[in-house]
Amino acid sequence: MAHKSDLIASNIEEYLKEHENKEILRFITCGSVDDGKSTLIGRLLYDSKMIFEDQLASIEKDSKKVGTTGDKLDLALLVDGLASEREQGITIDVAYRFFSTDKRKYIIADTPGHEQYTRNMATGASTADLAIILIDARQGVLTQTKRHSYIVSLLGIKNIIVAINKMDLIDFSQEIFEKIKKEYKKIIPNLYKGDNLNVKYIPISALDGDNIVNNSKKSSWYKGKPLMAILDNIEINKKVSNSFRMPIQYVIRPHLNFRGFSGTITSGEIEVGDSITVLPSRKTSKIKSIVSNEIKDLRPIGKDEKVETIKRAFAPMATTITLENEIDISRGDMLVKSDDIPEVSDCFSAMIVWMDEMPMKLSQNYIIKRATSVLNGNFESIEYKKNINSFEELEASELFLNDIAKCTLSVDRDIAIDPYHINRYTGSFIIIDKYSNSTVGAGMIISSKRDKKSKKREYTKEEIALNEYIRKNYPEWQCKKI
């Protein structure tokens, strides 16, 4: 294969085509405070030649002023761009960076280690395929290491690289490396579906670049591959459901002769003529046409204009479909294939990560946003709360900041129940405080809890009032009247 710079100089079109077809790996760096997450990303960018000369000159200047690495280049400054991050030497917000090698393109999320910013870490992990858990070789496995590892497993990330960092500060001691490795192995059975995880261990120095791109002579006892080789060759576990799911986002009605239903296909595929069912109403129809998403301009569709159509659409396409029958469909409904209908319920169990300083209370109502559905809901019970140190399952009546728990939720109308481990897009949701409009928690659906034959529950006066408030003030949310 030609060298990258030679290929760019000789044939830019060939280079761009080659670059476009590369596989993308999304990964996060996480762990406890000051484990070297930002420095590692800076090192990857530096060693992959993804830093421009002016950036490098700026980092050299800033390293002398606000750096924490003495005379060495502080590569963490490439990622920590906020003034408060540079002043304190910590990561506060999630920072995304991009680089590529000859084999793959990478999207990295640098997540904060502070317990206070765990919600930011969970956000960064929600779209990742792999997690690099950094551990300071001087500190070993800490509480935040366990918390981040559990959240990573909860969010369905199967590939984990445990990078034991700052090995240069302990003279690359194999004994300490093996001790930390043994300590981390003990927590794996306690992680969510820990038996399905693919965990690799590597001793590194992010500051000096040991075992990042090439194996270091300082750790001749380490016989594995360097970090970059592991990232380039590890199998990307992207288990995507084949079941067709299309949450409706908009109903398009430019004139009397056209009614289309728009949304992003989150999984599966659909063809013209396929039978579909609308949930939760269970109305059925067939696909009449699929409008191409290759929009040439933004003009409204005229009465006599023909729209460009295609025969087949698949995830993750954003598209518009028309149906053979005139049936009532609105934002928040979901289209599925009639021969593959998921369970529908207004009550389900879910794993919750609480992200707000105001505690979650069982008696309080919240807004639940799942895909394009916005619902009123409340927590019926907390089955258990995880003690992140011991991984014990504790009884609880409320949740506090960074708590992780299994709960039962009840919502004001039926929704399709897709377990998160089967479909991460329709199996996840966020919890919004109805007064502050702040996102206070995130959830992963496990299963339905309502007996199919049970009667519809009675709603409280507060739930009915909240429903009316949303319908009146947020008509675009298309809430069903209760």
Residue ranges of the annotated binding site for GTP are 31-38, 110-114, 165-168
The closest of 131, 129, 120, 212 to 165, measured between CA atoms, is 212
Binding residues: 31-38, 110-114, 165-168
Residues with Cβ within 8 Å of residue 470, at least 6 apart in sequence: 367, 374, 376, 477, 479
Cβ–Cβ contacts within 10 Å for residue 161, how many?
21
Residues with Cβ within 8 Å of residue 279, at least 6 apart in sequence: 333, 334, 335, 336, 341, 342, 344, 414, 415, 416
Residues 399 and 385 sit within 8 Å (Cβ to Cβ): yes
Residues 362 and 380 sit within 8 Å (Cβ to Cβ): yes
Query: What six digits make up the tokens of 185?
Result: 């192995």
How far apart are alpha carbons 116 and 119 in whole angstroms?
Answer: 8
How far apart are alpha carbons 22 and 103 in whole angstroms?
Answer: 7
